[in-house]
Structure 1
Amino acid sequence: MREIVFDTETTGLSFSNGDRLVEIGCVELFNRVETGQTYHAYFHPERPMAPEAQAIHGLSDAFLADKPLFAENCDDLLEFLGDSPLVAHNASFDFGFLNGELKRCGRQMLSLSRMIDTVAMARTRHPGAKHSLDALCTRFGIDRSHRVLHGALLDAQLLAQVYVELTGGRQIGLTLVSEMVEHAASPVDASRSVVRPQRIFAASTEEAARHSQFLEGVNNPLWGPLETR
């Protein structure tokens, strides 16, 4: 199953109050395994950056000055997302900004039925514990030493590892009865499982005869004469 783990950075906390999306990072998973396919973009917010937000992600007005508007890259983003389930940490926040930008440029908003919230998952699995991305990385032994500031793609990559742990760990991808067959047309194409036929391990009549002939040629075998076995 294809899933997209994503994270956003914004100018503030509320799209309805005028804040805007300035960065999005997406990581593709197939059967809970990263495929190496990612999407990352910065956007000009058409408003000044709040100092409090800049202190978190480090994105200044000067850095964003030459970046495209969200509407200019909207098609590329939607193509990458496809119709896959979308995983985010405190997902209602990220969905609120993403759907706000989509609505603003006249596009259909994403269905909330696609939303998977890792905060809700963590609260169910570890009630009473801390559920920040940093805390979950520490809990699961995920290296976050390179996370000095928040960054959408870096945080999505860390969250992808957290999500795998929250859904059973890396062993869930192991299987002895199926193999992945991926269509190469595009990174958003679906994949399917093919059941392998049962393998026969019994020796053939010819192989059994050769084996008996070999044993008969062994002098003083530890297992004794063949006729006594």
Structure 2
Amino acid sequence: MREVIFDTETTGFDPASGDRMVEIGCIELINRVPTGRTFHAYYNPQRDMPAAAEAIHGLSSQFLSDKPLFAHGVEDLLAFLEDSPLVAHNARFDFGFLNHELGLCAKMAISMDRMIDTVAIARQLHPGAKHSLDALCTRYGIDRSHRVKHGALLDAELLAQLYIELTGGRQIGLGLAQEEAKESARAELNAPVAVRPVRPARVFAASAAELERHAAFVATLEKPLWLEGAQPG
């Protein structure tokens, strides 16, 4: 099963008030295992970057000024997303911005049926606990020491590790190994049995000449051990 983990960075919290998406990062998973395929892009929001948002992700208006518009790269993004389920942390936020950008360039919105929200999963597993990406990475021992500021691709990579843990973790690999072992055992049981040729039994009896030589040799022995204590017949 193919899934795409994704994260976005934006100019603020509400696309309806003019905020725009400025970065997206995507990670491909097949059967909950990262394949190494990723998608990453920056976009020119055609507006200023609020200081509060820049403090979070470090993306300035100057840095984004020469980046392409979302509409110019939308086909590449959609080609990567395909029709796969999309996994995000607090997914309604990311879906809201993604669908807003798609609407601005007259593209069909992505169905919310494809949404998988890791915050919702974490709330079911750990009610009452903190459910931020940082807090959950700490809970599951996921190294985030290199995360100085938010970044869409970096956060997607962390989220991919977290999603795997939330949905089975190491048991996924164990299950795959068990299935491979079962397949190997089945193959061994179904393999054709090699037919070996029947050979006649070997004869190991001594010949008359060998018996005669043995008797002559024994007659030369003086007081052999096996005759000690023997009574004459």
Identity in percent? 65
Q: Secondary structure of the residue that 1:206 maps to in structure 2?
A: coil
More strand per residue: 1
Q: Secondary structure of the residue that 2:127 maps to in structure 1?
A: coil
Long gaps (5+) in structure 2: 203-233
1:70 aligns with 2:70: yes
Taking structure 1 as the reference length, the TM-score comes to 0.80
| CA distance in structure 2 between the partners assigned to 1:200 and 1:116 by the alignment | 40
* Alignment correspondent of 1:40: 40
Taking structure 2 as the reference length, the TM-score comes to 0.79
Summarize the Cα distance change of 1:83–1:198 in structure 2 as closer, same or farther, 3 Å threshold.
same
* Alignment correspondent of 1:91: 91
> Which string of whole-angstrom CA distances, capped at 9 and with x for unpartnered residues, describes residues 153-206 of structure 1?
000000000000000113214324469xxxxxxxxxxxxxxx789223596453
| CA distance in structure 2 between the partners assigned to 1:197 and 1:108 by the alignment | 49
Long gaps (5+) in structure 1: 180-194, 214-229
RMSD value, Cα = 2.3
Q: Secondary structure of the residue that 1:172 maps to in structure 2?
A: helix
Describe how 1:120-135 pairs up with structure 2 within 5 A: 120-135=120-135
| CA distance in structure 1 between the partners assigned to 2:81 and 2:88 by the alignment | 13
| CA distance in structure 2 between the partners assigned to 1:178 and 1:30 by the alignment | 17
The one-letter amino acid paired with 2:60 is S
> Which string of whole-angstrom CA distances, capped at 9 and with x for unpartnered residues, describes residues 44-88 of structure 1?
001100110000000001100100000000000000000000000
More helix per residue: 2
The one-letter amino acid paired with 1:102 is L
* Alignment correspondent of 2:187: 199
The one-letter amino acid paired with 1:200 is E
Structure having the higher Rg: 2
Q: How many residues align?
A: 195
Describe how 1:1-229 pairs up with structure 2 within 5 A: 1-173=1-173, 174-175=175-176, 176-177=178-179, 198-201=186-189, 204=194, 206=196
| CA distance in structure 2 between the partners assigned to 1:205 and 1:38 by the alignment | 53
Q: Secondary structure of the residue that 1:6 maps to in structure 2?
A: strand
